[in-house]
Structure 1
């Protein structure tokens, strides 16, 4: 896959209602057509993290949408922990497909986005053409996840000046003058204490992912990408998931940074997988298991 060509990009919004609240969600579309792909970000990160991959996939003829889940990026950020769960996020993805008029999509994401993608396949399997799962957070990541995110929840709840102070320092930095991934880091620091605590609390104490039994019932084709030497997203979780899913391909990344700084190999794999999902009628898709390295 060479340098992606120019593709159209459009920003849109829609609204979801839950427990009497009406919240606005924002998304970006890349390209056009009926071969839909939805990409979902990691926890506390913005949808812009998937801009390079979205552009690469759209240049191959796919219609790609990146979504800011509730509490993230430019979408609304309620401070109620009950607003946040993997199931609620999955319902937002289905609402996005309804808003776009997309009967089905290849749904994929990173970390939190990977878990939400699995949840979409569990709660609305008829809407999922395929899955692109990078760094799922499952059984082997529980302890590291607590170590990584519990201090953030504590700071947001009891030391809100630390969150506000970091936001004041990072928000004025022009994103156009720093490297792309530095900008994503700065965007991730643009948090407000109440919503940030609510998001982390909701993920700690709510449903994190479909159960192993539910995952084994997901028949959509899946590309599962695992990283070595990543304690929060251990490759063991990705490998376990690839064994559980009936129609999965496991692809081992060379490092946690490969898809960030040298994305060509993984971009090719994702594009080939997504195009293959759309080239094959759903009723004819087999369940052959493959492993890539």
Structure 2
């Protein structure tokens, strides 16, 4: 089934200036779903899932958070935090005129989705949380991203040089996920250093106490054999949140190379969130 796709943008005013954020809409209607990308990745990584959900009648929006993809990429680490990114999602909903949405994402996007649920619970119809980065991932995250931050800060030619090498490669001539990898390499050293610095020195996710208060229905997806996103974190999160369901992926690559099962589970979950009146869900928890 073909669905309409439209690119849009909106602007945020802050003490540091005016920032432009870009998004893509898939489909139409009032059953909103917002999908967020992983760290340093573009929103296009969520395109296959967005198209699959839109084909089921959902109105899906993928957003490039500040510092990512085709949105602005300031070099100031003070503008990057989980809370700031969550505020950008709320600003997107305001811009679209969407009172509520199912909000979800992968890795960084998963944690931002949790922050939105804490910041503005009245805007959350449901959560789709893939590969959250919580207690069991701290050490692996430091090992993975600290060298990147230092390289971007003190050896900027490494990051900028990779951009020069990969940017000219036509994305239409390579497989989809190779293109996403190339897009992820399209970074500027100053903004990469700022993004990672903001993550390291801000809070990574809502506290366990806050997560236990999230009442929205949630679909939590964990991957085996992934040290940066251990399945133990996803399982722990599903236990903490009172209305969460845990789904174990068959492998770290299942949703990328054989997505049918997880796409179907996500579509069914999101449709159920929209078919179930919000008042009835709250009454059912009492």
* TM exceeding 0.5: yes
Which runs of 5 or more structure 2 residues have no equivalent in the other structure? Answer: none
Structure 2: distance between partners of 1:95 and 1:166: 33
Root-mean-square deviation over aligned CA pairs: 1.1
Task: Give the Å deviation of 1:76.
Answer: 0.2
Task: Give the Å deviation of 1:87.
Answer: 0.2
Structure 2: distance between partners of 1:286 and 1:14: 33
The CA deviation string for residues 228-279 of structure 1, in whole angstroms up to 9 with x for no partner, is 0000000000000000001000000001100000000000000000000000
8 A contact 1:163–1:192 mirrored in 2: yes
Paired position in structure 2 for 1:16: 12
Report the 3-state secondary structure (helix = DSSP H, G, I; strand = E; otherwise coil) of the residue aligned with 1:285: helix
8 A contact 1:246–1:287 mirrored in 2: no
Task: Give the Å deviation of 1:285.
Answer: 1.4
Structure 1: distance between partners of 2:209 and 2:13: 30
Paired position in structure 2 for 1:53: 49
From the superposition, tell whether residues 228 and 23 of structure 1 become closer, same or farther in structure 2 (CA, over 3 Å).
same
Paired position in structure 1 for 2:135: 139
Q: 1:231 aligns with which of 227, 233, 243?
A: 227
Structure 1: distance between partners of 2:17 and 2:119: 22
The CA deviation string for residues 63-120 of structure 1, in whole angstroms up to 9 with x for no partner, is 0000000000000000000000000000000000000000000000000000000000
What is the TM-score with the length of structure 2 in the denominator?
0.98
**1:1-293 residue pairs with structure 2 within 5 A?**
5-285=1-281
Task: Give the Å deviation of 1:286.
Answer: 6.0
The CA deviation string for residues 166-208 of structure 1, in whole angstroms up to 9 with x for no partner, is 0011000000000000000000000000000000000010121
Task: Give the Å deviation of 1:21.
Answer: 1.3
Structure 2: distance between partners of 1:268 and 1:17: 38
Which runs of 5 or more structure 1 residues have no equivalent in the other structure? Answer: none
Structure 1: distance between partners of 2:204 and 2:12: 21
From the superposition, tell whether residues 140 and 44 of structure 1 become closer, same or farther in structure 2 (CA, over 3 Å).
same
What is the TM-score with the length of structure 1 in the denominator?
0.96
